[in-house]
Structure 1
Amino acid sequence: MKADLGDLSAFVTVARAGGFREGARLSGGSASGLSEAIRRLETRLGVRLLHRTTRSVALTEAGARLLERLGPALGEVEASLDVLNGFRDRPAGTLRLNVPISAARLVLPAIVPAFLAAYPDIVLDVVAEDGFVDVLAAGCDAGIRYDERLEQDMIAVPIGPRRQRYAAAAAPAYLDRRGRPDHPRDLLGHDCLRGRFASGAMTEWEFEKDGETVRVDPTGPLVVRVGAATDLAVDAAIGGTGIIMLFEDWLRPHLDSGALEPVLQSWWPAFSGPFLYYPGRRHLPSPLRAFVDFIAARRD
């Protein structure tokens, strides 16, 4: 049974995007064109692949089985075609990265402009989200994550700062009004601005000093979704609502300006920096190879 490769690609795009409109945005095509391609494919195969509603689509059982086998196969087709880039003067194509919001804000800005200037034929497509993601199933070439979230059987390459810290801070006016904590456990008597992961779990605050680790679970008047609404918590801290704990680099401009004052600075915990990770296959798409080589050269 033969099926058009373009129609198969349209199916994968819509299935991964969760809808025709988002699929059109990601692929640069049109929602009507994708819908027609999948209609042709379903007619040719004789089975329904998607349940359609006015707002979204969902895979049928047949569609899920097809996507499971088709996604990796199309990836190999793209990799095979990418071999032709070796005959070009410079790499070309699209590099799709899945990164946490913190990396999009704190790591990539120092890399992306120079990379795109060096490789003008490459388009960088960045998806920023903080959940656990299978980068291949999401249609991405590589991801950026910290070591505790790296997937198995992936190659990991250091990217960005190799050591980072979490910092606690508050507006001077808040600390003048409520007092300055001397120990992490003092935070239990303060208004703290918390973060919640997509899973619903709350972020625990961890501090370290002289080999001692202290974990606290403070409360406060504001809880935000980690990543997506973090700037709201920062603005609330600047406004005097309470104490925030976040990447030091995220808070650094406000610490330097005096809008925020360090809290428990000698207790700020350090951790290893992020990694670019990607499948350990022999042939890398030329845009990804160029990106890997570019960040390696920056470390030298």
Structure 2
Amino acid sequence: MGAGTRGFEAAAQRYFGKSAKIVNPSEAAMLAGLLKAPTRYAPTNNLKRSQERANLIIGLMENQNFLSKAEAKFARENPATLSKFAQAKAGGYFADWVMASLPDYLTYETTEDVVIKTTFDPLVQKAATEAVRSVFRNQVDQHSKAQAAIVIMSPNGAVRAMVGGRDLKGTGLFNRATQALRQTGSLFKPFVYAAAFENGFSPNDLVNDEQISMDLPGSGPWTPKNYSNTFSGEVTLSKAFSESLNIPAIKISESIGREYVSELAKGLAYFQIQAMDQR
């Protein structure tokens, strides 16, 4: 019946937020119109097309005396519309993520009735999707290879919405929110500076932002650079952090010890999880 639904009851719940037992004539006609081509006539794909198809069904219902002339006229003048939750389409990325976490015997081809409860919020998802669409429409060149990923969570860690890339239609897409495993990069720098302050450094201490080379076991020589490909010479820790300079952060991490920085980061993550559990 379109939009991943099977049967009139599931379709009524998906599109109208009510049981098939209590749909009105215009809604019933829309559901009946789905039988010929569920995907094509699904109101979540094209509401106007679905309403036009429903009008054809209303005419047939009138001809077969299932509706009076007045009832048919009223149904045409008051076409079925989607519930607010149906208007906020469930994100394909979120659905794929949920399906990937289910037992192997549950797939998109499963025909048995299965109820899956999630923390998904369709209104938040709609806002996230529109935000990504707006950025790429108004701020990014259409030929750009830029991508995006969004995960919106409640304070207790419940995932409310997810966007895994600029392609916002379909299922089975590469999800950059869950599948693009990348280094944390500059997001890790606050942990480095937190470790520095725990070890007696101050924001006004100086560090030399200069070219360096390091020998990494198993990887060989490494010559890190700043994003700007320039060096600033002596800078305060405060400036190094605010400008996200790479070399000072690396030097500080090496002077304190990578293991110490790593343990501090793990400890902060554990503390945050504990705080969430107590809410």
TM range (shorter): under 0.3
TM superposition score normalised by structure 1: 0.22
More strand as a share of residues: 1
Instruction: Please report the TM-score for the alignment, with normalisation by the length of structure 2.
Output: 0.24
Instruction: Name the larger-Rg structure.
Output: 2
